[in-house]
Structure 1
Amino acid sequence: MRVFRLIIQISLCVAAVISPMESVAWAAPSAPKGDPLLQARLQLFQRMESLYGIPWTYLAAIDQYERTMKIRKKQAKNEKSSSRLTDIDIPWERWCGVFNPDEEDTNPVSIQFFDGMGMDGDGDGKADRNNDLDALTSLIHYLSAYGFSHDDWQIGLWSYYQRDRSVKTIRQFAQVYGKYQHLQLEARHFPIPPRYEYSYRSTWGSARGWGGRRIHEGTDIFAGYGTPVLSTAYGVIEVIGWNRYGGWRIGMRDMGNVYHYFAHLSSFKKGLKPGDIVEPGQLLGYIGSSGYGRPGTAGKFPPHLHYGMYRETGGADWAFDPYPYLRRWERQERKR
């Protein structure tokens, strides 16, 4: 631990000499042309990787996970986005130390005395939890105490979040960032190719009787048997197989921590399996009429795709109406 603290201190001295804006110039290759905020964020993560050795993909994944956890809170409070590059927010109890009487303490010495996480990452003499460099440096220090392998980082993440689901999602995000090597992964795609005939309308909340009283948590898109079903976003396949309600179904989690549910399929794309990374417009399977019974049950309703969306913000996934999103993606496809 003493050796690691010495390494951190040496790195901080280097960081203090090189200002945040100057450091961007020697960062690794940036994202494709697009959102300047995403490019600046990527360069910050790459800079921290150069200083401390933890892959930028993990830092980006943690930041993205933290961002998705705050979405519902921001919507409820109608808050505007922060001016910070990252959304990493270490609770004050961890930052300052649980027994620290000053909840806004920025003195690295007193924070260390109370066994807090807070560190000075930019060399200004303050450990400010609202400062991106300070927050990232402190989190990196915490995770690196467990080692530097992928398994070590996941142990560190579990220690920090105390939640298997959080560790799994962050790992998935890191894998996607690792494949594409940039942060611009917001693209979406309508689940049916434009050259096929289909129809749909808003059916959110309609009553469903099979299997007990319940509501319809999604949108039904009617099309012929065998119509291709496409991925709607960048993400990772979490489940694939039979569900007595949805029949042959696929579950994919996107980079916004939204779970996309594709149900009543007739078959899957050959070779598709849990853990696969997919992107917008990629083939997942084919429309059918499976479900409402034991594995293989089909034909109890017309062929269609049941498409659902579920968000996770720290508890159980909660469903929301996908219809407005489908309409938007459909319009975008027509423009393209």
Structure 2
Amino acid sequence: MYNVSASEESERMSLYKKTSAVTNIPWYYFAAIDQYERQIHDEIPEGRVTAIQPDPLFWRGVNEPSMFFPDGWGASGNDDAKAEMTNDEDILWSLGNYIKSYGTTKDDIRIALWNYYKRDLTVQTIMNTAQVFKKFQTVSLTDRDFPLPLEANYSYNNTWGDVRGFGGRRIHEGTDIFANYGVPVKSTTYGVVEMKGWNKYGGWRIGIRDIYNIYHYYAHLNGFKDGIKVGDVVKPGDVIGSVGATGYGPPGTSGKFPPHLHYGMYKDNGEHEWSFDPYPYLKKWEKLARKSQ
């Protein structure tokens, strides 16, 4: 995650909105594409404020006709008449023209993104992030929250990587937070509900994809918040369910272990997704939540 100054953020928003005005593609899609690429590259190129790095094939095309990039899409987005693959305005203008060639509806944009990235998870992540930016009308969304109320009776230790026997020999991909049945479970982040339902091992569980290409997994729930559904945009502190002990059997199986929240985090780098230890983040968010009381 990059540290971004207020002035850089303002400059980025100006670029997104300028490109939106001339392409009719809503600004939050450009912001979401940029946000996605900020997570898959090690650093922003020098002299740039966006992180989008087009493939040379997209920019220049090929000698032989190509289904997606026949002649290349690189074009000048400012007044210098130069199509520079290192210029933010040129990149956004060229990408906007490419997307617009498919149309400007949500489905059109989804198809354009798939043909650009050719990866389902990438497209879903960008579309989710766009909906978050649309709802909150900003890209400055850095708040976080602890997943349980601080006044609840809870306890947790670093259990990531521990051996698990249920469901075959495997490691524990998360942190278990023990609490009483029915304690509210909250979203820790801004994001979109990507999955909701039953799993043989996880019981009633819900998954939220945030704007940093991270999937947050909440398992063994007693139940869900009324009305919450896949596609909902959530923010830190929104209640999504409650602590339970469900799982390890058909739907409704419960009580084979003490009630607790299994909280997992998975990072996507544009090629692979993997589990990482959520414990340090939970400790940080817990501390921040106590300071804000």
- TM-score with structure 2 length normalisation? 0.92
Name the CA shift for 1:264/1:83 in 2 (closer, same or farther; >3 Å): farther
1:87 to 25, 45, 51: 51
Local SS of the residue matching 1:87: coil
Give distance in 1, aligned partners of 2:221 and 2:73.
Answer: 49
Greater share of residues in helix: 1
Are 2:45 and 2:51, in contact at CA under 8 Å, matched by a contact in 1? no
Give distance in 1, aligned partners of 2:128 and 2:160.
Answer: 29
1:174 to 130, 140, 144: 130
Give distance in 1, aligned partners of 2:29 and 2:212.
Answer: 15
Give distance in 1, aligned partners of 2:197 and 2:25.
Answer: 36
The question of 1:49 aligning with 2:49 is answered no
- The offset of 1:53, in angstroms, is 1.5
Give distance in 2, aligned partners of 1:326 and 1:276.
Answer: 23
- The offset of 1:252, in angstroms, is 0.5
2:193 to 237, 244, 253: 237
Report Cα offsets for 1:83-111 as digits up to 9, x if no partner.
421111101222123349xxxxxxxxxxx
In structure 2, the residue matched to 1:7 is none
Report Cα offsets for 1:147-203 as digits up to 9, x if no partner.
222222222212211222222222111111111111111211110111112111111
In structure 2, the residue matched to 1:61 is 32
Name the CA shift for 1:36/1:147 in 2 (closer, same or farther; >3 Å): same
Local SS of the residue matching 1:240: strand
In structure 2, the residue matched to 1:96 is 60
Higher Rg of the two aligned structures: 1
Q: Structure 2 matches for 1:307-326, cutoff 5 A?
A: 307-326=263-282
In structure 1, the residue matched to 2:91 is 135
1:220 to 170, 176, 179: 176
Local SS of the residue matching 2:198: strand
Give distance in 1, aligned partners of 2:86 and 2:26.
Answer: 22
Name the CA shift for 1:81/1:121 in 2 (closer, same or farther; >3 Å): closer
- TM-score with structure 1 length normalisation? 0.80
Give distance in 1, aligned partners of 2:91 and 2:207.
Answer: 33
Instruction: Name the amino acid aligned to 2:211.
Output: M
Local SS of the residue matching 1:37: helix
Name the CA shift for 1:184/1:264 in 2 (closer, same or farther; >3 Å): same
Give distance in 2, aligned partners of 1:289 and 1:35.
Answer: 44
Instruction: Name the amino acid aligned to 2:217.
Output: Y
- The root-mean-square deviation of aligned C-alpha atoms, in Å, is 1.7
Name the CA shift for 1:287/1:210 in 2 (closer, same or farther; >3 Å): same
Unaligned runs of 5+ in 1: 1-33, 101-113
Instruction: Name the amino acid aligned to 2:109.
Output: W
Local SS of the residue matching 1:47: helix
The farther-off stretch of 134-143 and 165-174 is 165-174
Instruction: Name the amino acid aligned to 1:46.
Output: K
In structure 1, the residue matched to 2:257 is 301
- The offset of 1:276, in angstroms, is 0.6
Give distance in 1, aligned partners of 2:246 and 2:204.
Answer: 6
Name the CA shift for 1:192/1:41 in 2 (closer, same or farther; >3 Å): same
Are 2:44 and 2:50, in contact at CA under 8 Å, matched by a contact in 1? no
Report Cα offsets for 1:240-270 as digits up to 9, x if no partner.
1111111111101011111000011111101
In structure 2, the residue matched to 1:255 is 211
The question of 1:291 aligning with 2:262 is answered no
- The offset of 1:122, in angstroms, is 1.5
Unaligned runs of 5+ in 2: 65-69
The question of 1:155 aligning with 2:155 is answered no
